[in-house]
Structure 1
Amino acid sequence: MKLKVDQQADALYLTLSDAPASRTDEVSPGVLLDYDDQDRVVGIEMLYLSKRVPDVDLRRLLFETVPQAG
């Protein structure tokens, strides 16, 4: 899994798989899902990032793993 923030494009892209995308759907304004040829989501793109989170410090991203219920 890879996360790429493109400040020039004002976009964030989360790669879920190395499989090539065969189609893209805009599921919400500025939120796009890329699908492979077997209809699996391989990537998620968010456009207009600065408008969605205006105070974000793109040099500091927090990743959190939620523990499994046991």
Structure 2
Amino acid sequence: MNIIYDIQTDTLTIVFTEAPVAESDEAAPGVILDFDAAGNLVALELLDAFRRVTHPQQVTLIIP
């Protein structure tokens, strides 16, 4: 899994798998879901991330 914050575009992307994206859907305004050909979620993209996420440049990994 990769988490990418692009400060130039203020976009936060979480990539779950490196499968090719076959389809994208805007689940809510500014929330893009990318799917592979089998319908599995490949990535999640947040537009205008700075106003949606506290500290988008900072990631905390929690493993219970």
TM-score, structure 1 as length reference: 0.82
1:57 Cα offset (Å): 6.1
User: Counterpart of 1:41?
Assistant: 41
Asked which structure has the greater RCO (Cα within 8 Å, sep 6+), the reply is 2
Structure number with bigger Rg: 1
Off by >2 Å, runs of 4+ in structure 1: none
Aligned length: 64
User: Counterpart of 1:28?
Assistant: 28
Alignment of 1:1-70 (within 5 A): 1-53=1-53, 56=55, 58=57, 60-65=58-63, 67=64
Q: Deviations over 1:5-51 (max 9, x none)?
A: 00101011111111100000000110110000000000000110111
